[in-house]
Amino acid sequence: MTGSAGMDRDLLLRLPKPELHVHLDGSIRPQTLLELAAEMGMELPSGTVDGLYETVYKETYEDLKDYLRSFRYSYLVMRDPESIERVSYELAVDNQREGVRYVEVRFAPQLHLGGGMDYIDVFGAVSRGMDRAKREFNRRPEVEGGSEPPFEYGIIACSLRYFDEELSDYHGSFLKLHRHTDPDTIFGLASLELVGAAARARDQYGLPVVGVDLAGAEAGYPAAHHREAFAKAQRCFLKKTVHAGEAYGPESIFQAITDLNADRIGHGTSLFNAGAVSDPTIKDREAYVEALAQYIADRRITVEVCLTSNMQITPSMEDLKDHPFGRMMEHRISVALCTDNRTVSRTTVTDELLRAVRTFRLDLEDLKNVLVYGFKRSFYPGRYSEKRSYVRKCIDHIEKLIEPVMGGGRGQRF
């Protein structure tokens, strides 16, 4: 990492980019939220876009729980196939407009069940919206002519570490149905059902459900409660990503890898935070986090880094320079820069890249590596040969755009 010469916003916009960690309900357009709420007769904290940014989608949040509260309005208005399809379509278009060529949209379908919709209906609505945007984009002459890579997408189903009866009608019914069962077991059962639905959506209905995720409160709700569900995901050949190290220490990251066989880690913000290690059996905390980082690097487990959202929910991180992204790069960890939530965090993939370039002084080689890691470590919904061909197209286009900036003969092919 030597500097950011030649990397302006225009170049970053034009570069083909992957987006591996973006939540659907955290990325709804504020105007769409206003319109859908009006159709439902639902009252919001404000009736204007500016007002929503003041009351719901704030610049800073107290903690992760405060951050997650901003989601409640979006999933309340996404309660029918038409609204879910609209929000999905708009998310795809918003990504396309800033050069994102591959996106994995994640969401908890449980939050949208009811009103005659089941899991398959929700997955299908998201797929229809994304697919409509994909068809429109890929009809562009430059895409059909092969001078630019096409737009592709996958769907990730999010399970929750914890939920209560007030979260949604589905969760209230699930808890009531299992009221004589230990809560930790209930959370695991809900994950098991979700994995079964995700596999069925892919295998019986041909929907591009590529993986499962575990999200929500980490502290007090360990990954082990969901071991059976993620073992089922493994048997069904679904890929696995896990929110870990976001609101709990490095042990949470280790649990995600060892208990759930995570292929990727969401956030991983506490990876190098030896002070956050709480296991009393770990005597040398500094050695532990270094060994964990080396383990992640060796196994090429990609960390989905979300700079802006991490800053918003981590009060102790006063300056972006304090973010562990820099140390991840120094340790040669496979990282992908992502938004987490475009609306809740008021950001785009281009914004995240620009912040990384300026703060951590990434050079063009660093930038290429981050983009390529994302494409290569995606859960692409196709055969490996198809993915390999697609990634090659994206890399070729990256190199074509970067070569003039690097100067004749200095670019390196991957």
Q: What value does the mean pLDDT take over residues 285-305?
A: 97
pLDDT at 145 over 60: yes
pLDDT grade for 411, boundaries at 50, 70 and 90: very low
Query: What pLDDT is stored for residue 317 in this prediction?
Result: 85
Average of pLDDT values for 154-162?
97
Q: Lowest-confidence range among 64-78, 249-263, 342-356, 360-374?
A: 64-78
What's the pLDDT score for residue 410? 43
Percent of the chain past pLDDT 90, that is, above it, reads: 85
141 in Cβ contact with 148 (< 8 Å): no
Phi and psi angles of residue 377, each rounded to the nearest 5 degrees, phi first:
-95, 15
Q: Which residues are catalytic?
A: 246
What is the per-residue pLDDT for 1?
61
Of 317 and 202, more confident: 202
Q: Rounded mean pLDDT of 131-159?
A: 97
Q: Where are the domains of the chain?
A: 9-404
Task: Specify the CATH architecture of the domain 9-404.
Answer: Alpha-Beta Barrel (3.20)
